[in-house]
Chain A
Amino acid sequence: MLFYLIKRIISKIPILFGMTIIVFLILHLAPGDPVDMIVGPNVTPEVYQNIRTQLGLDKPLIVQYFKFLANIFQGNLGESILQGRPVLEIIKERIPVTFTLGITILIISFGLAIPAGIIAAINRNTWKDYLCMSGALLGMSMPTFWFGLLLLYFFAYKLRLFPISGYGTWKHLVLPALAMGLTDAAITARMVRSSMLEIIRQDYIRTARSKGLARQVIIYQHALKNALIPIITLLGMKIGWVLGGSVFLEVIFSRPGIGRLMINAIFARDYPVVQGAMLVLTTSIILGNMLADLLYAVIDPRIRFD
């Protein structure tokens, strides 16, 4: 198991480096001069040169990249051009907002998808199965941000059951979490169904059935345990999907999270904040994948005893 975990952790290293290169290049490949972007074109040549030296832009690109990397390892993500504060400090304030939403979405999504997928699989080709599959197809086709807007219109503007925007109470969390939780549950249920169907056809399920075991025992003790393995992998993948999608929800529901911070920073050309937000979001995704790998190893005895 230890060997498996080390292998999985090592496999993430190139991805982490790839991510830092992309984030680093955001500033350097953007059209125009980075100093112009930061301070505007109306500065004296001396000030311009000073800022260039200060930012290390007079050094070769590779040197700049390694300096950027060294700064990241020291927890230094630079300073916001707009707010004049350290980027890490700004992001730290927003982490709880984004993560609370992300975790709630995952709970709703998996909480609904696992029972729905199982019901669809064990009632294959019945109305329950068709309902689940139709829901999945709709969920796959519906843009999350649009569903969020519909919920906002009906439940906040029309019925006034929930606040229109903001952050702080559980009521602020319901609509954005449902917007993505429900659409995502539909897609996840389809995958749970496939996974369950594959397991149900295995020989050991037939053996359990021929032994005369109760249907419930077969489903929950034999089939579900094995069907959960690919679902755990899915959970790891979903962390990225949810964090990527929460950007849109934070904009619609005016939640002061990392995603909204990043979008505002793109428009304000506050590149250090864009880089910092991107770095934190993508690192969280990679850490989430690692966590899924760990869970995978704990649940699957074939890996645990390897």
Chain B
Amino acid sequence: MSVVNDQIKLEEETLIPANRIFDLAKRLLKNKGAVLGLFIIVLLFLSAIFAPLIAPYSYQAQSLSKMLRPPGQGHILGTDEFGRDMFSRIVYGSRISLLVGFVTVGISLVIGVVLGALAGYYGGLLDYIISGLTDIAWSFPRNLLAIAFIATLGPGLLSVMLAVALISWAGFARLIRGQFLSLKEQEFVEAARVLGMSDFRIIFRHIIPNALAPIIVLTTLEVPKAIIVEASLSFLGLGAQPPTPSWGSIMSSGRSYIAMAPWVVIFPGLMVMIVVLGFNLFGDALRDSLDPRLRD
């Protein structure tokens, strides 16, 4: 019974206390970059959730009499080559960006945590094999590797999500392995082991909660990268296919009309930039708040 009590006490001690989260939030709110970044992210979420309420038109409602209309005249951001409202398409496009950003980072996070934890916790031959694989994946240029995967899977949004997930896990695996290597030598892990806890419990209840800060920072900084890769691949025609309104695919189809209707390309690209900037500002501020030594 006392062993169980000791276990509970140890787990309570190793978890991040609520006042630390409150301190972190206070520090973040003092940082102008973090506030701006958070504001952009919240706006993006709201736009994705309430797209049908915000968008004045359906994203696929065509009107050939309104083709390539400049901003104004009932269409705040103009219309595209099929007379579709650009504002509505951009609002719906936020759904694709968020979906790709979070789903792909979620998948790569799971792969990275599992592989990184196995390598860092158990070491030995397993570490050697996993680290070798991670180094190989890490050495490939992201865009080329993503294109290689899509060449295999065929163009489409699902292919892009899988490709981006498969090119992003190595960063997580490296980070988590490093965290495990240092944390597994700590006294609280020794104590958990002495109390007879299973490896699974030690990894998920004791080590991972203590490695959460850098994982959260990396996640925040990986989401914008995924959004840019999706937009770039969709721009090449390898990602979301028409009429799905991904920001990259809107630019892809609008590219041929750039000379007479630059708004078809300017606004979706601007959205990608603002959203990525928002995540980068928030991610940078989060990293600085969690570890001021990394500020430079």
Interface residues of A (CB under 8 A from B): 14-15, 18-19, 22-23, 25-26, 29-31, 137-138, 140-146, 149-150, 152-153, 157, 193-194, 197-198, 240-241, 243-245, 247-248, 251-252, 262-263, 266-267, 271, 274, 278, 281-282, 285-286, 289
Contact = CB atoms under 8 A, between A and B. Distances in A.
Contacts of B274: 141
A247 B237 CA distance: 13
B272 interface: yes
A249 to B, nearest CB: 11
A146 B265 contact: yes
A142 B132 contact: no
B272 to A, nearest CB: 5
B151 A248 contact: no
B296 A198 contact: yes
Contacts of A138: 273, 277
A29 B143 CA distance: 19
A153 B265 contact: yes
B7 interface: no
29 contacts: A14-B132, A15-B135, A15-B136, A15-B139, A26-B151, A26-B152, A31-B153, A137-B284, A141-B277, A142-B273, A146-B272, A149-B265, A153-B258, A153-B262, A198-B296, A240-B140, A247-B236, A248-B235, A248-B236, A252-B255, A262-B147, A263-B236, A263-B238, A266-B147, A267-B237, A271-B151, A281-B144, A282-B141, A289-B139
Nearest to A156: B259
Contacts of B145: 22
Interface stretch (B51-59, B65-73, B100-108, B224-232): B224-232
B125 to A, nearest CB: 15
B281 interface: yes
Contact of A266 (B140, B238, B258): B238
B218 interface: no
B249 interface: no
Name the residue in B141, B251, B266 with the highest tally of chain A Cβ atoms < 10 Å from its Cβ: B141
Interface string B258-296: 110010011001001110110011001000000000001
A175 to B, nearest CB: 13
A286 B276 CA distance: 29
Contact of A247 (B144, B151, B153, B280): B144
A30 B152 CA distance: 4
Interface in B141-169: 141-145, 147-148, 150-155
Contacts of A142: 273, 276
B224 A25 contact: no
B269 A30 contact: no
Contacts of A262: 147
Name the residue in A142, A248, A266, A289 with the highest tally of chain B Cβ atoms < 10 Å from its Cβ: A266
Interface of B: 132, 135-136, 139-145, 147-148, 150-155, 224, 228, 231-232, 235-238, 251, 255, 258-259, 262, 265-266, 269, 272-274, 276-277, 280-281, 284, 296
B272 A143 contact: yes
| Chain B binding surface, main DSSP class | helix
Contact of B296 (A19, A197, A278, A281): A197
B236 A30 contact: no
A302 B50 CA distance: 59
Closest 5 pairs (CB-CB, A-B): A146-B269, A244-B143, A240-B141, A244-B141, A141-B277
A118 B228 CA distance: 29
Given A31-B154, A146-B269, A152-B258, A194 B236 contact: no
Nearest to B138: A15
Contacts of B238: 263, 266
Nearest to A152: B258
A167 to B, nearest CB: 19
Nearest to A286: B139
B276 A141 contact: yes
A244 B277 CA distance: 22
Nearest to A271: B151
A18 B269 contact: no
A194 B296 contact: yes
Contacts of B262: 153
A93 to B, nearest CB: 20
A241 B152 contact: no
A240 B142 CA distance: 9
A149 B236 CA distance: 13
A19 B277 CA distance: 33
